[in-house]
Structures are given as structure tokens and as C-alpha cells.
Chains A and B, each alone.
Chain A
């Protein structure tokens, strides 16, 4: 009976690894369960961090699982007639298995700083000129940050997108406003400003590895460079109410000229100042 339990515990690392392998391979029925396509130039930073942590913790997980199994198997009560011996523990062992995980965690913390800086600190710049000290990459540089292409406002339960359009300034009369549809030019650094109109949401672009909680009261920026055209998802990743599950949007990446045409087309539709009923039969 005891050995049965140890075999059961062995199944945890075995099945765990099995599921991951199955998902990564994409065999039926676990298809499309691994990471979606990455079309962001900066996205590999996130992916590599993810994989690194996965394999590191995975290895440790398998090791601990096997060790647990081994001890359960070896010291099963049915097979051992010797009385239990009391032990004061091993001071050395305690120190070792405190230091090693701490060092690992510290390592991960430092390792991920690059990914964090890439996603949160290194906003694309248009130009950077040295300041009074004459040296570049110092605090007093004169930096012109790339202005946002669009402002995405999350509200229950939709994403309202407002493009800066022709004059490049958000909040002017020529802004193009549309709901749940975000078009992006391909191959360019794109900065989006995101904010919330009511409650917490999370602006999640799975294929761009962008996920940023939109906090009411804060204007935040996300940036990326999409390198492939196509239609992708925008989803909400923070429970925001009864409609959270359907708070989806459509992200379309297209080349610059198509994007300009689309934006101009939307602007024309938005400023439609004449109306004639379409003549001829309907259905």
C-alpha cells in the first residue's frame, strides 16, 4: 500500500513533464496550447526569459520529485522493520539548501532586468543629443521620445482606440476614434498610450508579448515592433466585471501604405457630412 503512494507521487513529475512535452509538440488533443506566434522584434526577450525560468525550475522540480519518490519508496513502512531514529537534522544541509535557491533567485532577478528594462524603461526615442556635459547617454541628454501612435482606453467591456492621426497629437479634432480595432504599421517602432476609463483592465497582446495592466488614473505606454502582417487578438487579462470574457479586440498589422490608407478611410467615414440613401434594391 505504501509503495502505491510513492508511485502515485512519481506520477506528478512524470505526467507534469509529459503534459509540457505534449503541449510543446502540439499533438492532438493538446493543440495551440503553447506560446502563440511571436511577431514582436522585442518579444524574444520575454520568450527567452520564460523558457529559461521554465527549464531551470523544471529541472529542479523533476529533481525534487524524483528524490521524493526515492525516499518514499526506500523508507516505506512495510519494508522497513527498524525503529525510527530521531535526528537533530543536519545543519550543513539546511545551509546548503537555503543558499542555493537564494542564489538562484538572485540570479533570475538580475537576469530578468534586461527584459524589464526593454519592456518598461527603454521607450523608443526619435533623437537623443548630448546635454550640457557633452556626453551621450547621461541623465542630462536632450531626448525626444517617440509620440504614441494611438491611445487605447479600456472600458467595460471594450477597447476604445484613438489615433493621433495626421497631426500626430492626441486629443485634437482630427483624431480617428474607433472601437475594438487596432491597426499597426509593420516593421516600425510603435508606441501606444493606454489608460482606463473605469476599472482595472489589462491590455494583452499575446502575439506581441505585451501585457500591461491599465490602472484607472494612470497613463502608461507600451511599445513594440511588429515584424509580420496578419490579424491577431487583443484580450483583457484582468477581471473587470461580468463582460471580461468578451472584452476582445482585433489587432491588424499591415504595411505602412495600407495602414495610411486605412486611417485616411476611417477619417473620411468619421467626418461624413452628407448622406444619401443607397438607391436600388436592398437584399
Chain B
């Protein structure tokens, strides 16, 4: 009995020791294999091998070396020094060092490894949205490497501002697995935002390097630092260096430029009759000219005073104090605004219903994919198209569905200005278009309509249920 147990336990312990391993592997960035493959495919098919042309191993090594030289490693980040663009305006190296490296703290008590502690398990060490837990999440975490972000104040094809990213980190994204980091100290939140921008810069640069490889012949090196011998070698080295620095400067300039983009929103006109009495030059910006025209037509009046008396009579608040009258009129105006919004929703100008559905449940267009998929697998991918990309690191693609507007969950934020930005700018990387053809007033009417949708009785009849009732979800 004794012997048997001794042998058995010894065997088990040996196996556990063999399998457990010692220490943790050093974190390393992963290559953007998907983008490399996309660029290789653009070269076409080699008729001899009947497969797509590929980049050489040396060209790939050159890309790896340039990336290391410019951006360092996950434990020791660095930023490229560019003469044409000041990288420190986008990322601060001190904050990067707080966010990078293994989790712990240095001698002064300053924390390190914030990104790895809070973000890497979903977003990945490389910021590719493919961390260990990503496969279990719906929607998938964001891949920063294309420089595309969905919820921001700037238009499509423009980078988000620093505040946009900070809002996402602080508030989280309701309806997704992205949590709120409001409880972290502000400096740590800043460090995380800077590190996200760093990973985005890095990914965008890597993309540009692979694009450059498509211009090179087979066997031609991207850049050869050891070619210092001949004059020609030196010139070529400097030329290539200039090219690479130029690519990086363009990317950094876009990020710096994003802070200057005009994202202002004029105040939403108030639901008061005085809004109709604005002078004509202000009316376009701060008034509701369309609503005014409509109410005038409805009530068959031509002046604001007439409208007021007609409305008071209609709403039956003639003998109430002025405050109550104002409230009733405001309610009426709000309802009229929502009706205009509803007409825009269904009629051609905003065309919302074609994707968001005639019942606003988001069921109008459910077969599309987001840009992070269509960039690689094509616009109308079939199941068979995905296999090669999934093998290179893409998470199994899922359809992207338009928002169900009756739930009251707004991923980019629930403030009126957030909804305004989504409608005006569209959402980058998704089929949601911008609406430059709508005036500011029309967008506000749409916002009012959209904000009212979750409170329509059709949206949630359970709100009317008595307390402590079992809730059917």
C-alpha cells in the first residue's frame, strides 16, 4: 500500500512539474500577418507556383527591425524621433513607461504594467483586439492597429481626439465588455490612453511598411543599415530612411491634426416659443425654423403670439399660471419635434429605417460586416473566405447589426451631443453613414426622436409592471 502510493504520487508530481513550466515568457509584439497577406495578395498570382507572390524573409526581417527601432518592445517602449512631426504631442514617453512593462511598481511607488493589468487580456499585447479573452466576447475588442475608432467626435477618416479616447476608457462602452475605469486615478487613465495611441501609431506604421514592400522587387531590401560602404549604398539608405520617416510623420500628423478638427455643436434649441422669435441670421444656427414653419402651418397662424394663444386654447391650459402654460407648450413642441424626427427616420432624406428597421429594432440590414473584416475578406465575404484570415489571427467574423434603438443603450455615450455626433459624422468602420445633407436642426429633431424611442410603451411594457414581479428578460 505504501509503496504503491509513493510511486503514484511521485509520478503525478513529476508530471505536474514538467507541465507547469518555470517563469513567465517575455511579452512580445505580434506581426500584423493579416495585413502582410493582404498586401501580398495585391501583387497577384505567380503563374509558376499558382499562388500569390510573397515577400521575402529578408524583407520581413527589415520590417521587424524598423518596427523595433521605432517603437521598441512591450517592456521597453520608445517613440520615433521625427523632424516633421512632434510625436510628444501625441504620446508622452513617461506615461508610456507607466503603462508598459510587467505589472508592478518602481522604487518611487509609481505603478507599471497598467496596460497589461487592465487591457491586454482583451485587447492583446499588440493592441490587435485578440487577447486571450477576446474570443469569448461579443462584440470583439477593438483592434487599434488600423487607427480606426468607432465612437469619437471627429468625422470618418480622422483620428479620435485625446478626450474621445479618454471618455471611452472612463465611461466604458455600455452593451459591450468594455468596462468603466472611472475608479482609477486620473494619471493612470491618462497613461492607458497614451499607450493606446502608441499601439495605434505602431500598427499604422506597420501597415504602411507592408504597403511599401509591394513597391519593391523580389529580393530588394526595404532598408539596409549595413550598406555604409559605398556612396550609393549610403544614399539609398538615407533615401529609404527618409521615406520611412515620412510615412511615420504623416501618421503622427493625422493624430495631431485630429485635435484641431472642428467638432463643435451649436446648443440644441430650447423648447420655448422664444426660439421662434430669433433674428433670421441666428435662426439657422440656434433656432428651429422647420419646426416653426410646421407649427405655424398646423395652427394656421403667422406670428408667435398668435401661435401661443392658439396652443394655450388647444391644450386647455388657459386658466393656469404662466409656468404651467410654458410647460404644456414645451411638451407640445417636444412632441412635434419628435414627429419631424420620425418623418426623417422613415422618409428618404435620412433613410434610417432601411438599416435600423421599420420598428427601430436594428433588423433592417443584418448581413453586413464591419471594416475590420471587409478590409481583408472583401465586401461580400462568404464563409469560405474567412478561413485564411482566421488562420492568420482574425477572430471568427460576425455580422454587424445596426443598433436596436428601442433599448436605450448607446455605446458611444447617451448624451445628446454623442447622438448628434453619431448622426452627423457616421461611425467609422461600420456601415453607419454620416449625414452631411441634414441641417443642424434636422439632426436635433432626429436626436429627440431617437431619445424618445426607449420610452414608447411598445419598447418596454414591463416598466408599467408592479414591483417585485418576476422580470422576464
Q: Do chains A and B touch in the complex (CB under 8 A)?
A: yes
B178 and chain A: residue at smallest CB distance = A158
Q: Which of B180, B420, B460 contacts A179 (CB 8 A)?
A: B180
Would A219 and B265 count as touching, CB distance under 8 A? no
Would A242 and B133 count as touching, CB distance under 8 A? yes
What chain A residues lie within 8 Å of B121 (beta carbons)? 242
A residues with CB within 8 A of B: 145, 156-158, 160, 171-173, 177, 179-181, 193, 195, 197, 216-221, 242-243, 246, 248-250, 269-277, 282-283
Q: A276-B264, A277-B263, A277-B264 are in contact. Are A180 and B180 (CB under 8 A)?
A: yes
What chain A residues lie within 8 Å of B162 (beta carbons)? 282
Q: Which of B259, B417, B452 contacts A173 (CB 8 A)?
A: B452
Most buried by A among B121, B414, B416, B452: B416
B267 and chain A: residue at smallest CB distance = A274
Q: Is the interface of A mostly helix, strand, loop or mixed?
A: loop
Q: Report the Cα distance A249→B181, complex, angstroms.
A: 10
- B314 in the interface (beta carbon within 8 A): no
- Pairs A-B, 3 closest by C-beta atoms: A273-B268, A274-B267, A273-B416
Q: Which of A179, A250, A274 contacts B171 (CB 8 A)?
A: A179
A239 to chain B, nearest CB (A): 16
Q: Report the Cα distance A55→B417, complex, angstroms.
A: 59
B residues with CB within 8 A of A: 92, 121, 133, 153, 162, 171-172, 174, 177, 179-180, 182-183, 259, 263-268, 414-417, 420, 444, 451-452, 455, 460, 463, 467-473
Q: Report the Cα distance A252→B309, complex, angstroms.
A: 48
Q: Which of B153, B179, B472 contacts A158 (CB 8 A)?
A: B179
Would B172 and A158 count as touching, CB distance under 8 A? yes
Would B417 and A275 count as touching, CB distance under 8 A? yes
Would A217 and B267 count as touching, CB distance under 8 A? no
Would A218 and B471 count as touching, CB distance under 8 A? yes
Would B467 and A269 count as touching, CB distance under 8 A? no
Q: Which of A145, A221, A274 contacts B265 (CB 8 A)?
A: A274
A273 to chain B, nearest CB (A): 4
Q: Report the Cα distance A218→B470, complex, angstroms.
A: 5
28 CB < 8 A contacts A-B: A156-B177, A157-B177, A158-B172, A158-B180, A160-B174, A179-B171, A179-B174, A179-B182, A180-B182, A217-B470, A217-B471, A217-B473, A218-B471, A219-B471, A246-B179, A250-B183, A272-B416, A273-B265, A273-B267, A273-B268, A273-B420, A274-B266, A274-B267, A275-B263, A275-B417, A276-B264, A277-B264, A282-B259
What chain B residues lie within 8 Å of A195 (beta carbons)? 471
Q: Which of A197, A218, A273 contacts B417 (CB 8 A)?
A: A273
B120 to chain A, nearest CB (A): 13
Q: Report the Cα distance A271→B470, complex, angstroms.
A: 32
Would B153 and A270 count as touching, CB distance under 8 A? no
A248-B183, A270-B415 given. 7 additional CB < 8 A pairs? A171-B455, A173-B452, A193-B467, A219-B468, A273-B444, A274-B417, A275-B417
Q: Which of B265, B444, B452 contacts A275 (CB 8 A)?
A: B265
Would A217 and B472 count as touching, CB distance under 8 A? yes
Q: Report the Cα distance A242→B179, complex, angstroms.
A: 13
Most buried by B among A179, A250, A275, A276: A275
A278 and chain B: residue at smallest CB distance = B163
Q: A179-B171, A216-B473 are in contact. Are A171 and B460 (CB under 8 A)?
A: yes
B79 to chain A, nearest CB (A): 16
B396 to chain A, nearest CB (A): 20
Q: Report the Cα distance A264→B473, complex, angstroms.
A: 31
A276 and chain B: residue at smallest CB distance = B264
Would B415 and A272 count as touching, CB distance under 8 A? yes
B241 to chain A, nearest CB (A): 30
What chain A residues lie within 8 Å of B263 (beta carbons)? 275, 277
B94 to chain A, nearest CB (A): 12
Q: Which of B171, B460, B469 contacts A219 (CB 8 A)?
A: B469
Would A177 and B460 count as touching, CB distance under 8 A? no
Q: A217-B471, A275-B265, A277-B264 are in contact. Are A177 and B415 (CB under 8 A)?
A: no
Q: Report the Cα distance A209→B356, complex, angstroms.
A: 46
Would B455 and A172 count as touching, CB distance under 8 A? yes
What chain B residues lie within 8 Å of A179 (beta carbons)? 171-172, 174, 180, 182
Q: Report the Cα distance A273→B162, complex, angstroms.
A: 20
B172 and chain A: residue at smallest CB distance = A179
What chain B residues lie within 8 Å of A273 (beta carbons)? 265, 267-268, 415-417, 420, 444
Most buried by B among A171, A250, A282: A171
B293 to chain A, nearest CB (A): 22
What chain A residues lie within 8 Å of B265 (beta carbons)? 273-275
Q: Report the Cα distance A167→B252, complex, angstroms.
A: 49
Q: Which of A158, A173, A181, A271 contacts B455 (CB 8 A)?
A: A173
Q: Report the Cα distance A197→B177, complex, angstroms.
A: 13
What chain B residues lie within 8 Å of A274 (beta carbons)? 265-268, 417
What chain A residues lie within 8 Å of B468 (beta carbons)? 219-221
B153 and chain A: residue at smallest CB distance = A275
Would A269 and B415 count as touching, CB distance under 8 A? yes
Q: A158-B172, A160-B174 are in contact. Are A271 and B471 (CB under 8 A)?
A: no
Q: Report the Cα distance A114→B467, complex, angstroms.
A: 24
What chain A residues lie within 8 Å of B415 (beta carbons)? 269-273
A99 to chain B, nearest CB (A): 40
What chain B residues lie within 8 Å of A270 (beta carbons)? 414-415
Q: Report the Cα distance A195→B162, complex, angstroms.
A: 35
Would B467 and A219 count as touching, CB distance under 8 A? yes
What chain B residues lie within 8 Å of A248 (beta carbons)? 183
Q: Report the Cα distance A271→B266, complex, angstroms.
A: 14
Would B416 and A271 count as touching, CB distance under 8 A? yes
Would A181 and B470 count as touching, CB distance under 8 A? no
Q: Report the Cα distance A177→B418, complex, angstroms.
A: 15
Q: Report the Cα distance A220→B267, complex, angstroms.
A: 40
B323 to chain A, nearest CB (A): 16
A113 to chain B, nearest CB (A): 21
Most buried by A among B460, B469, B471, B472: B471
Q: Report the Cα distance A274→B285, complex, angstroms.
A: 12
Q: Report the Cα distance A249→B121, complex, angstroms.
A: 21
